[in-house]
């Protein structure tokens, strides 16, 4: 038998679905908020460190520039070697600062991805729960119609319920009882 409607018992199905979904979403939100706090704090610390190092590097380059003018007059191979080492160290620091900035960007992307994943999981869970509750509400709905038919003096249209539905054994016992009542 094919499903005609997904939501048969609106109160039961939506209450159950939104109850479970609500608990899940609250858990996801708690996780996302915790991630946001940790990531935000880490990113702010990295941002402060990067700004401090950039300021220090600017000051240091100015000082080294002034010293190179003074020392350049007196010159020497040793001084030139030291300046090359300084330039290499400054380049290395710039690379590491860039890596820190990449980490903060990746952290923000991770938080966004976790949020999107939680939304997708919540939607999938919603549809799964509606389908699951339909397997419970469907047989109860059919049983209710059969009971109403019997109470109204009509013969119920006893048929099999879907094989994935819940309450299979109970439904078969009800059908057997209804047939015995008819005799």
User: Does residue 124 surpass a pLDDT of 70?
Assistant: yes
H helices, E strands: number in the chain: 3, 0
Model confidence at 103, pLDDT cuts 50, 70, 90, reads very high
With 0.85 as the threshold, say if the pTM is over it: no
pLDDT mean over 86-96:
91
Lowest-confidence segment of 17-21, 76-80, 116-120 by average pLDDT: 76-80
Q: Can you give the pLDDT at residue 182?
A: 77
Query: What is the pLDDT at residue 78?
Result: 77
Long-range contacts of 43-51 (CB under 8 A, 24+ apart): 43/104, 43/107, 43/108, 46/100, 46/101, 46/103, 46/104, 47/104, 49/100, 50/97, 50/100, 50/101
Closest by Cα among 135, 53, 150, 128 to 95:
53
- Which tokens go with 38? 């940790």
Q: Which residues contact residue 174 at a Cβ distance below 8 angstroms, ignoring those fewer than 6 apart?
A: 143, 146
Note the pLDDT tens digit of each residue in 49-80. 999 999 999 998 888 888 777 776 666 777 77
Is-contact 161 171, C-beta < 8 A? yes
Any idea how long the chain is?
183
Looking at residue 4, its pLDDT comes to: 64
What distance in Å separates the CA atoms of residue 169 and residue 34, rounded to the nearest whole number? 46
Position 115 pLDDT exceeds 80: yes
Report how far residue 67's alpha carbon sits from residue 98's, in angstroms, rounded to the nearest whole number.
27
- Whether 39 is covered by a domain: the verdict is yes
1, part of any domain: no
Contact of 17 with 129, CB cutoff 8 Å: yes
Domain assignment present for residue 127? The answer is: yes
Which of the 8 DSSP states describes residue 6?
S
Identify the pLDDT of residue 3. Answer: 53
- Please tell me the predicted confidence (pLDDT) of residue 74: 65
Identify whether 122 is part of a domain: yes
Q: Is residue 82 part of a domain?
A: yes
In a domain? residue 33: yes
Looking at the domain assignment, is residue 3 inside a domain?
Answer: no
State which residues form the domain around 100: 10-182
If one counts the domains in the chain, the total is: 1
- On whether residue 148 sits in a domain, the answer given is yes
Cβ proximity of 108 and 43 under 8 Å: yes
Q: d(Cα 166, Cα 67) in Å, to the nearest integer?
A: 85
């Amino acid at each position: 038998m094919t499903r005609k409607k997904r939501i048969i018992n609106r109160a039961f199905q939506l209450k159950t679905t939104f109850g479970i979904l609500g608990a899940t979403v609250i858990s996801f939100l708690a996780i996302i908020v915790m991630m946001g706090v940790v990531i935000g704090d880490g990113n702010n610390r990295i941002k402060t460190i990067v700004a401090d190092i950039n300021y220090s590097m600017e000051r240091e380059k100015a000082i080294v520039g002034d010293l190179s003018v003074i020392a350049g007059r007196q010159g020497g191979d040793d001084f030139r070697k030291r300046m090359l080492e300084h330039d290499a160290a400054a380049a290395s620091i710039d690379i590491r600062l860039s890596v820190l900035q990449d980490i903060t960007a990746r952290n923000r992307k991770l938080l966004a991805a976790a949020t999107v994943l939680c939304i997708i999981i919540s939607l999938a869970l919603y549809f799964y729960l509606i389908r699951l509750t339909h397997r419970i509400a469907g047989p109860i709905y059919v049983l209710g119609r059969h009971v109403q038919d019997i109470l109204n003096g009509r013969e119920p249209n006893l048929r099999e319920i879907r094989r994935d539905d819940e309450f299979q054994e109970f439904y078969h016992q009800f059908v057997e009882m209804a047939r015995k009542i008819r005799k």
